[in-house]
Amino acid sequence: MNNPAFRVSKWPISYKLIVACLVCSVSSQAQYPGQASDKQKVSMKAPIKAYSFNLQDVRITRGPFKENMDREGQWLLSLPVERLMHSFRVNAGMNTPKPGSITKMPKPLGGWEGLDMELRGHSIGHILSGLSLQYASTGNEAFRKKGDSLVMALGDVQKVLNQEGYLSAYPQQYIDRTIAATSVWAPWYTLHKLFAGLTDMYTYAGNQQALDIETRMASWAAKKLSPLSPEQLQKMLRNEFGGMNDAFLNLYAVTANPDHLKLAQLFYHKAALEPLENGKDNLNKLHANTVIPKLVGEARDYELTGNEKAKTAATFFWNTVIRDHTYAHGGNSDKEHFFEPGKISEHLTGNTSETCNTYNMLKLTRHLFTWSADEKYADYYEQALYNHILGQQDPESGMVCYFTPMKPGAYRLYSTPDQSFWCCVGSGFESHSKYGESIYYHDDKGIYVNLFIPSEVNWADKGVKITQETNYPEEETTRLTIQTKETVRMPLYLRYPAWATAGATINVNGKALKIAQQPGSYIIIDRTWKDGDQVEIKYPMSLRLVATPDNPKVSAIAYGPVLLAGEMGTENMKGTAPFHDPEDPYQYYGYDYTIPASLSHTINTQGKKITDWLKPVAGKPLTFETANTTEGKVVELEPYYKVHRQRYVVYWDLN
């Protein structure tokens, strides 16, 4: 999301909307088939092959994902409610102590949450989601209580505003401006985050007040939109609106109220979606994170209504983005926009891969995987999770970056604790709080093991618990232990990654299994399991080049699933680097990395195979070195997600 920029959106049909009182069951903001099934009032209209586990059923036990999640949780808990609520209370006229009053004004938050920012308030929605996801992921009551405090404070603001349920940190005039198609910075996007956060607080933390607040907000939205003509809606939806279609589709799923479906359909963006439904790539120059959430909503539409056009749009879009617009770490976009298909080598800049884009691409991927259980979706999920999302967070400070620049010699520019609050800070509150989402899935018979992360999954319906132990990707072996009181017949579907071209080894209780499957599929072990049974999985890793589609001489380097980056030191890093200057909320955009002229990103391969010019470093897992740069310097490469607070090279010119 760039600074006050204006995005194109959609034109639907006007509906007379009446929002009835909601029942006391709501799904999470990113609802996937299989989750909260006892609360769903609308049956699935799409065939489903793999169901999600509830987040509460999965626990991350240790490793880098657990460490990231813990740091993110500490950040969430450190932000005072008074400061988070300040702009909301000012908007309602609640927080105006007179000079000399014993009531002290809380220090306002900065960056995108400043009182002079039209997007203010979006972070609170993300924070509500982050707190509820942390609570579901850990069971730690501190997260639920912090979320409860925020919800209570939001309820007070909504009551004082007394505007038919409207709730925001900015006045309704912003909504009026976007309806009139005049300049304003994405007010529906901001409200989407708040809707989603309240829904998550109800779903994951059981907060009834959150549902009540959201009910009144939905009633206000219906009254606001119902008088609009199709032409007015078309103009309004040219501006970025996040995933409002997804939010209202999830309401429909749990209420079965057709008015909620109509409300979601008002956020169908014809100009963006119709070409995709017809198999036409219209992405060049479009603002990426304006488009991606619309396709998440389309995926949900297909699941709840059986709309085949929505399915076509979602799958065509995903395939197009992965094939033509995705960098080696799983991110996409340059200066937040899609570009000409396949022209990756022409877009290795300091403004690549807005992290929110990958956050939303992973949401879409989850939906698509449930429909087909196709391994390619799990491959992408691993690629983007390990190489982009995991590496977004600085392991020393817990701060996160907006872009992950592919420009040789650039570095990650991190946020500050209370003076940034970019959209990618907000999505980071969620991404680093829900790592348990896609490790495991299930069908009616067995469990899919998609990711190799130290964790536990409890499938209560089967009476089975699986513990996964591994140091992956620093080791090639993963061990699964089955826990069950009674013997159970159940297939295990073990992901066989497409990158694992060196083969696989599977042992059950120490006995090797014959493997007939090929990489890019699932190895199926269908047997009767007893308590204590163990499965050992080994996928040997090897070096490989990830060439840009438009120039085979410009290439990234990967080892198994892990993208490698050359360490280039800290020379000429100036100012507040590697942290964002809190005085400039848009500093990340067009940032000058002051790259030394002597920095080399060319390797003399002399036509030899990669193992001839890139050698492992003894005693340092996943670390390699080359002496064949144009200056003859030795450059050490390690996983991109580990290269922090220094310059790096991801894409190399190969001679």
Q: For residue 36, give every residue at least 6 positions away whose Cβ sits within 8 Å of its Cβ, in sequence order, or none.
A: 25, 27, 28, 54, 203, 254
pLDDT exceeds cutoff 70 at 97: no
pLDDT of residue 11: 31
3-class secondary-structure state, position 524:
strand
Position 98 confidence tier, pLDDT thresholds 50, 70, 90:
low
Position 31 confidence tier, pLDDT thresholds 50, 70, 90:
confident
CB of 331 closer than 8 Å to CB of 355 = yes
pLDDT of residue 254: 75
Within 10 angstroms of residue 32's Cβ, the number of other Cβ atoms is 25
pLDDT of residue 628: 64
Picking from 413, 400, 435, the residue whose alpha carbon sits closest to that of residue 590 is: 413
Position 602 confidence tier, pLDDT thresholds 50, 70, 90:
very high
Within 10 angstroms of residue 576's Cβ, the number of other Cβ atoms is 15
Q: What is the largest CA-CA distance in the chain?
A: 79
Cα separation values, 577 from 92, 204, 242, 624, Å: 38, 38, 31, 27
3-class secondary-structure state, position 589:
coil
Instruction: List, for residues 476-494, the tens digit of each pLDDT value.
Output: 999 999 999 999 999 999 9
Fold for 440-470+477-538, please state it: Immunoglobulin-like (2.60.40)
How many helices and strands, by DSSP H and E, does the chain display? 18, 21
Residue 480 bridge partners (DSSP): 468, 535
Identify the H or E element spanning 323.
Answer: helix 308-324
For residues 127 and 428, what is the distance between their CA atoms, to the nearest angstrom? 10
Q: Which of 8-12, 212-216, 252-256, 464-468 has the lowest mean pLDDT?
A: 8-12
Q: Per-residue b/e over 152-185, b at no fewer than 16 CB within 10 Å?
A: ebbbebbeebeeebbbbbbebebbebbbeeeebb
pLDDT exceeds cutoff 70 at 34: yes
Instruction: List, for residues 112-133, the tens digit of each pLDDT value.
Output: 999 999 999 999 999 999 999 9
Residues of the chain with pLDDT > 90: what percent?
A: 84
For residues 650 and 165, what is the distance between their CA atoms, to the nearest angstrom? 49
Instruction: List, for residues 227-243, the tens digit of each pLDDT value.
Output: 999 999 999 999 999 99
Q: For residue 339, give every residue at least 6 positions away whose Cβ sits within 8 Å of its Cβ, in sequence order, or none.
A: 284, 285, 325, 333, 346, 347
CB of 257 closer than 8 Å to CB of 20 = yes
pLDDT exceeds cutoff 70 at 19: no
Cα separation values, 279 from 85, 272, 332, 574, Å: 45, 12, 20, 47
Any idea where the domains of the chain sit in the sequence? 440-470+477-538, 543-654
pLDDT of residue 49: 98
Region 615-642: what's the mean pLDDT? 88
Within 10 angstroms of residue 531's Cβ, the number of other Cβ atoms is 14
